[in-house]
Structure formats: C-alpha cells, structure tokens
Amino acid sequence: MDEIRERFETLKRQLKRKFSTNNKSKNKRKNTNRRRPPSGVQKKRPQSRERIEPAREEPRNRPKTKEEQFRKVPPTNKKRKKKKLTKEEFEKRKRKKRKENIVEIVKFMLPVLLFAVFVFFFILNTSPHMVDGDSMKPTLLNGDRVIVRRTKEPKRYEVITFKPPVKSDFQYVKRIIGMPGDLVWTEGSDLFINHQAEALPKVSELSAANELPDGTIKVNVSEDSLAQMSQLKKIPKGHYFVLGDNRNNSSDSRAFGLVDGQAIEGVVSFRFAPFNNIGWIK
C-alpha cells in the first residue's frame, strides 16, 4: 500500500509540473503575439498624456491698458454725414478763405516788389515821379506816376523831368524839341529852330514860310524868352529847348527860355500808375 501511495504522489507531482510548464509556454506565446503585431499593420505608440489647460476667457468688461488706449483705431468705411452750415458760418468761412488768399498773395508779391524796387532804384539808377498838371496831355495825365532814368542822356523828342528856372515846388515834365547845336533865329515874337540847316537863311527869306529850310519849327515866345534867344545863333552845349504836348496849357521854354542840362533829373521811360495805363512812354 505504501508503495502504491508513493507512486501516486510521484505521478501527481509529475502532472503538476507538466501543467505548470504548459501554462508558462502559453503565457510566453501570448506575450510574443502582443509584442509582434501582424505585418502591414503599425501599432500606434501611446502618446504621453499632456496636460491641456483650458483657455482662460478674459472678462468682457476688462479695463483697457494704456497701450490699447493709444492704439490707432482703423478707419471705418462709414461715411460721416456732412453738417449743414448756417449762413453766418458760411460767411465766416468765406471771409477766412479770402484773408488766407490775400496773405498768400502778399507773401508771394512782397519779395517780387522788393526785388523790382532794388533793380529800379539801385541797378538801373531810377527814381519815381508824379506828374502834376495837364501840360503833357494826352501823353501823360495829372497824377500819373512814372519812372525816371537818371543815367540816360536825353535825346530829341524824349520826355524829361527837370527843375525849372522859375520858382516852383514841383519838377516839370516836358518834351525836348531843340538840342545843343540847333540853329535858332527870331522874327518879331516868333522863334525858329532848325536842326537840319547848316547856315541861317537870308533876312529877305525869313518872312516867307515857303522859303524856310526843311525841318524848321516855328513857335511864339514870351518877351523874356525872346530876349534870351535873339542873342543866339545856335543852342549852346548842355542846353535844351522844351515844350509841353498840350501847347495851349503849358509853361515851357516859350516862357522861361532854355533848360540847363544840369537841372535835368532824367528821362521818363515807364508809367506804373494808374494800372489801366501802365506802359512805356514814347
């Protein structure tokens, strides 16, 4: 009996061992099947769990920072409605625009005028003069403002300004008729001036107008002028015989005689006022 028991115990142990080895082999096969996936199928690696923080929502009524306050707001496409102006506001704006335009014109014209004044008075050696009286009608009228060139030598038929040999508060404006070297002679109260003849005509021919040399000018002079001119055969050097264009209303060489060249201010060349008569003087 004891032997049978011993055999039974040994068989039992052997069965246990076999059973345990079979279980181990099955577990190994399962592990290998898990580690090695079938071909063509890639098993995804488990990703590390990241902590996902929920986005913090800012409060809607949060106070703005200084940077946000100073940021430029993008222009909106909404058209602003134009405010209707009253008549008073419109007139104020109109006056303001006029003032601005006048200021701009003055700013532009002031340097131009200063430059013109500098050129006329310093470079060209000129001076302004105002015409007094109507003795030079229709060439010059009373109150006309002209520019006189002081460096230019006068020529025949040019208009000059000069200090007259009579008492006067103003300078005279006249036209040159007789030049130095012109022949002169008198008959009664008449004066004859000729710049073409080489010699005086004979006494018998003086009274005949058709016998006078070409280019002879005949004028009626006063006693003072006649006393001066009757002593001359030619106009002396540096002296001029002048007349006004308005012969019926002019005090000129017919009244006071010849004009000394040193008393001449200059030649009238340009009229700058009034504006409707601006232009060169001939």
Contact 189, 177 (CB under 8 A): no
Sign for the CA dihedral angle at 150, 153, 159, 161 comes to positive
Cα→Cα distances 216→162, 191, 258, Å: 25, 10, 18
Cα→Cα distances 267→4, 103, 134, 214, Å: 171, 36, 18, 28
Tokens 């008959």 belong to which residue? 187
Indicate which residues carry an active-site annotation.
135, 174
Number of C-beta neighbours around residue 149 at 10 A:
18
Token digits for 30?
């399962």
Contact 126, 149 (CB under 8 A): yes
Tokens 């142990």 belong to which residue? 13
